[in-house]
């Protein structure tokens, strides 16, 4: 395979690079920013895609943020690649504050209580939900009894409040990123077009100057013609 990595990464290295890339998050941010600015599309469509991707980062559908961003880009007529890049707004450095904001907002809107700092209880609900999924899957092939209590508690206390609470912060963050990125992308594209036009004008001017210079006879051929007349 031409594009296959020569050095295979272990699962531990893959997880480590996901939490903290080798070049650092600053380098990863600049890479994504560079790729977004060079997308061949209008500034408005690119900015719309970024807004859709940022909104997707506020949803509880972890592992499916690309799909949510693609759907949002399609609905709001944004650039698909920009939407996928916008999902990087949600990363291991921002997942915790995003989760806390969404949970607090969701419980407030639903009129329920959110126990701030209850990390152990939250992780316990995650563990119970995963345990129920595993047990219920095995129940399809064994004599185990399916139990949905952990999943129901996780849905009521975490997933549903997170989904409801992520709508308003997601819209605010998406709209804010749209209006912030739109002038930046427009300015970058205008400067890039100006640089490309200047390069073409320079090449054209050099070509015209070269064509305007008369071709002189080589010195050797002039001497041979003189000797022939003598």
> pLDDT tens-digit profile of 92-110?
888 889 988 999 999 999 9
Average pLDDT over residues 78-98: 88
Closest CA to 196 of 28, 38, 16: 38
> Which pLDDT score, from 0 to 100, does residue 162 have?
92
The full set of domain ranges for the chain reads: 18-190
> Which pLDDT score, from 0 to 100, does residue 2 have?
42
Contact between 105 and 165 (Cβ < 8 Å): yes
More confident residue, 215 or 62: 62
Determine the Cα–Cα distance for residues 46 and 43; give it in Å rounded to an integer: 5
Residue 213 has pLDDT above 50, yes or no: yes
Contact between 73 and 83 (Cβ < 8 Å): yes
* Alpha-carbon distances, residue 1 vs 6, 7, 27, 157 (angstroms): 10, 13, 28, 47
> Which pLDDT score, from 0 to 100, does residue 167 have?
95
Q: Indicate the average pLDDT of the chain.
A: 78
Residue 12 has pLDDT above 70, yes or no: no
What pLDDT digit, counting tens, does each position of 147-174 carry? Answer: 788 788 888 888 999 999 999 999 999 9
> Which pLDDT score, from 0 to 100, does residue 65 have?
92
Residue 31 has pLDDT above 80, yes or no: no
Report pTM. Answer: 0.69
């Amino acid at each position: 395979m031409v594009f296959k990595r020569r050095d295979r990464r272990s699962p531990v290295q893959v997880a480590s690079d996901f939490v903290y890339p080798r070049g650092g998050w600053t380098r990863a941010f600049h890479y994504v920013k560079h790729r977004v600015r060079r997308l061949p599309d209008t500034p408005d469509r690119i900015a719309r895609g970024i807004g859709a991707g940022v909104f997707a980062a506020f949803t509880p559908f972890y592992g499916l943020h690309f799909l949510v961003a693609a759907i949002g880009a399609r609905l709001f007529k944004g650039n698909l690649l920009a939407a996928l890049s916008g999902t990087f707004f949600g990363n291991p450095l921002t997942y915790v504050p995003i989760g806390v904001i969404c949970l607090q907002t969701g419980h407030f809107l639903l009129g329920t209580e959110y126990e701030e700092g209850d990390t152990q209880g939250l992780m316990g609900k995650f563990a119970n939900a995963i345990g129920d999924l595993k047990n219920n899957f095995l129940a399809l092939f064994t004599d185990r009894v399916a139990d949905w209590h952990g999943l129901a508690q996780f849905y009521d206390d975490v997933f549903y409040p997170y989904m409801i609470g992520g709508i308003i912060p997601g819209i605010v963050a998406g709209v804010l990123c749209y209006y912030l990125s739109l002038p930046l992308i427009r300015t970058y594209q205008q400067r890039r077009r100006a640089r490309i036009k200047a390069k073409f004008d320079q090449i054209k001017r050099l070509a015209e100057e070269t064509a305007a210079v008369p071709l002189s006879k080589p010195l050797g051929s002039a001497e041979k013609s003189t000797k022939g007349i003598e």
